[in-house]
Amino acid sequence: MEKLIANFNYVIVVILMMIGLWSMLAQKNLIKKCIGMAIFQTGIILFFISIGAKDNALIPILTEAANHTYPVSDVSKVANPLTQILMLTAIVVGVATLGVALALAQKIYQQHSSFDEDEILENERK
Q: Where are the beta strands (DSSP E) in 59-113?
A: none
> Contacts with other proteins: how many residues (CB under 8 A)?
32
Q: Which stretch binds other proteins (CB under 8 A): 1-9, 45-53, 59-67?
A: 45-53
Q: Distances from the Cα of 119 to the Cαs of 4, 8, 24, 33, 108, in angstroms? A: 42, 40, 17, 15, 11
Tell me the closest approach of the beta carbon of residue 78 to other proteins, in angstroms: 14
How many Cβ atoms sit within 10 Å of the Cβ of residue 72? Answer: 13
- Min dist CB 123 to other proteins, Å, is 10
90 binds other proteins (CB under 8 A): yes
Interaction between residue 79 and other proteins (CB under 8 A): no
